[in-house]
Amino acid sequence: MSAPETTAARPLAAPFTDGLREGLLRYQQCAHCGGAQTLARYACQHCGERGALHWRDAAGAATVLAVTEVARAPSDEFRALAPYTLVIVQLDEGPRLMAHALPGVRIGERVRAGFFEHQGRTLVRFAPLP
């Protein structure tokens, strides 16, 4: 008799990271209250409902809420990018996200998500809408 096959558990954030590799920005939306969130969770951060979260594709448009320029990278992994701009944006679908941005973006500016590769990972970088 052979041992049963085991399958490694799929990471909770896999739909988000898979989407990045496909050029898609994804978020979770609660079927119970309609709340949206970008950080992968087991329960809705708005109503606490478990099992009601579904992944959705975002259009990628957002409004900049905060901007900072990183002059000294926090790790060797990001040192080659420094200086770089980080933003917190609110996606048109509702949730907020922290990501890279092109230099010069400003609070209140409308931006669109793009993607770039860095050390084998796909990261989000926002650029001003034309």
Q: Which CATH class is domain 14-128?
A: mainly beta
pTM assigned to the model: 0.87
Residue 75: count other Cβ atoms within 10 Å of its Cβ: 6
Per-domain boundaries in the chain: 14-128
Residue pLDDT, tens place only, 84-113 = 999 999 999 999 999 999 999 999 999 999
Residue pLDDT, tens place only, 18-72 = 999 999 999 999 999 999 999 999 999 999 999 999 999 999 999 999 999 999 9
Q: Which phi and psi angles does 72 have, rounded to 5°?
A: -115, 110
Task: Map residue 21 onto helix, strand or coil.
Answer: helix
> Is the Cβ–Cβ distance between 51 and 67 less than 8 Å?
no
Give the pLDDT confidence score for residue 8 in this predicted structure: 64
Mean pLDDT computed over every residue of the chain: 93
Handedness of CA 19, 25, 30, 31 (dihedral sign): negative
Q: In the numeric block, which tokens belong to residue 76?
A: 């060797």
